[in-house]
Amino acid sequence: MDASSVTLQRRSTRRIEVGGVPVGGGEPVSVQSMTTTKTADVEGTLAQIYALAAAGCDIVRCTCNEAEAAEGLAHIVPRSPIPVIADIHHNHRMALAAIDAGVHGLRLNPGNIRRPEHIKAVAAAARDRRIPIRIGVNGGSLDPELYARHGNAVTPEAMVESALMELAYFEEVDFDLVKISVKASNVPLMIEAYRQLADATDVPLHLGVTEAGPLPEGLIKATAGIATLLAEGIGDTIRYSLTADPVEEARAGRVLLESLGLRERSDIDLIACPSCGRAEVDVIKVAEDARAALAGRDLPLQVAVMGCVVNGPGEARDADLGIAAGRGRGHLFVKGQNVAVVDEDEMVDQLLEWAEFIAEHGTEAAIARVDTERAAREAERDRSALLTDKGEDANSAQQRVELIRRDLQG
């Protein structure tokens, strides 16, 4: 099976829209993040929202914890390039104020807005304005009664029960524009809670590992939880909760979805080998220089930087473009075919030139413009020379085969 034909099978869910961004129902998984500015700081918040949008964020959340924040939302929402969700805790009146401010969605925490009449009042107002609500269950702020009922412990069952109780209140007022999250900072707990929730309802699910922490540990924890569920087909929208610039959250979410084939590539996907004793160049530096030169240019290509000419083109044959570094030179290849040999100090510049050509004209046109047979012959000379110098194990392979045969016959 060709690698490009492998796709993840996704769970069937209802479809809602958040300010024009579809969530669920088989639509592309969306990336979310949250501003860290004071929402009353309209210009500062908008600057962060624009930076998030540029990094691949589809939906943004802003806190609405006071009257000044609600008033700020009234100015932010019409100027935002992406839909804005109001984050609500404790005070249901802030949810009503955010609706009046024109937000595209709400996030309610059932752990701290617990009175049924308040929950239903917000749901009814959202119903009338066609504004979706996320039921945001959090393992760190579970309803005390639920906590006690489940043995004074945060369990997957307690989190799912909290979400379904809130959903039942919504149903009482005929409100169904809902998505749900059951986040926890414990990754196995979070995974199990989402699995149970996915079995209990067809409401679209928002994935996240809450309070994942700073980089790089937080990135690893969040990816472990989110990617596991996405690979199982669970999840319709995601957020990395990192102790970092929220732009890093958006970038991480976008890269994850593109890596899993759940979103189309929007920029360079740079793959690179970890290097080895055959390398004649500083692979790490070449890869970093290539990333700096290629990123942010809207070149939706996979580009490979390989440390040697022995295995590089073969291992990265599916890449749109790549370079395999030899002794003082680099072998450029397109879809595994050698197309040019360039000096070491020209490798990154040539990658950029070829990437821009491929983005505009395609890989077939790139291959057609050169004498690939001549390039292949030149590349083979370098490869043979490197094997002679540093490929001792490869050169002795036949002798080893003869030894194996002799032992087996013995």
- What are the CA-CA distances from residue 186 to residues 18, 32, 218, 372 (Å)? 28, 20, 12, 53
Alpha-carbon distance 346 to 326, whole Å?
A: 13
Token reading at 219: 């990135």
Token reading at 48: 């962060």
Task: Identify the bridge partners of residue 272 per DSSP, sorted by sequence position.
Answer: 305
Q: What are phi and psi of 64, to 5 degrees?
A: -130, 85
pLDDT of residue 52: 98
User: Does residue 101 sit in the same domain as residue 161?
Assistant: yes
Residue 371: strand, helix, or coil: coil
Q: How confident is the model at residue 161 (pLDDT cuts 50, 70, 90)?
A: very high
Q: How confident is the model at residue 383 (pLDDT cuts 50, 70, 90)?
A: low
Last residue of a domain, one of 259, 288, 307: 259
User: Does residue 317 sit in the same domain as residue 344?
Assistant: yes
Number of domains comprising the chain: 2
Kindly tell me if the per-residue pLDDT of 3 is higher than 60. no
* Average pLDDT of span 166-195: 97
User: Does residue 198 sit in the same domain as residue 302?
Assistant: no
Alpha-carbon distance 225 to 185, whole Å?
A: 10
pLDDT of residue 266: 86
Do the Cβ atoms of 138 and 113 come closer than 8 Å? Answer: no
CA-closest candidate to residue 227, choices 267, 186, 180, 259 = 259
* Average pLDDT of span 52-71: 97
Q: How confident is the model at residue 385 (pLDDT cuts 50, 70, 90)?
A: low
Alpha-carbon distance 183 to 222, whole Å?
A: 11
Which residue do the tokens 């249901």 mark? Answer: 92
Alpha-carbon distance 164 to 41, whole Å?
A: 36
* Average pLDDT of span 157-186: 97
pLDDT of residue 273: 82
Q: What is the pLDDT of residues 97-123, one digit of tens each?
A: 999 999 999 999 999 999 999 999 999
User: Does residue 289 sit in the same domain as residue 374?
Assistant: yes
First to last CA, the chain: 40
User: Does residue 248 sit in the same domain as residue 305?
Assistant: no
Last residue of a domain, one of 259, 292, 321: 259
Q: How many CB atoms lie within 10 A of CB 1?
A: 5
> What's the domain range around 244?
11-259
∠ CA 221-225-230, rounded to 5°: 140
pLDDT of residue 386: 56
Q: What is the pLDDT of residues 323-342, one digit of tens each?
A: 988 777 888 999 988 898 88
Q: What is the pLDDT of residues 294-309, one digit of tens each?
A: 988 889 999 999 887 6
Residue 264: strand, helix, or coil: coil
Kindly tell me if the per-residue pLDDT of 39 is higher than 70. yes
User: Does residue 72 sit in the same domain as residue 153?
Assistant: yes
* Average pLDDT of span 69-76: 98
pTM for this predicted structure: 0.87
User: Does residue 60 sit in the same domain as residue 95?
Assistant: yes
User: Does residue 193 sit in the same domain as residue 121?
Assistant: yes
User: Does residue 28 sit in the same domain as residue 76?
Assistant: yes
User: Does residue 97 sit in the same domain as residue 235?
Assistant: yes
Do the Cβ atoms of 58 and 32 come closer than 8 Å? Answer: yes
Cα atoms in the 13 Å half-sphere on the side-chain side of 172: 14
Last residue of a domain, one of 259, 285, 314: 259
State the chain's mean pLDDT as an integer: 90
Q: Which amino acid is at 47?
A: A
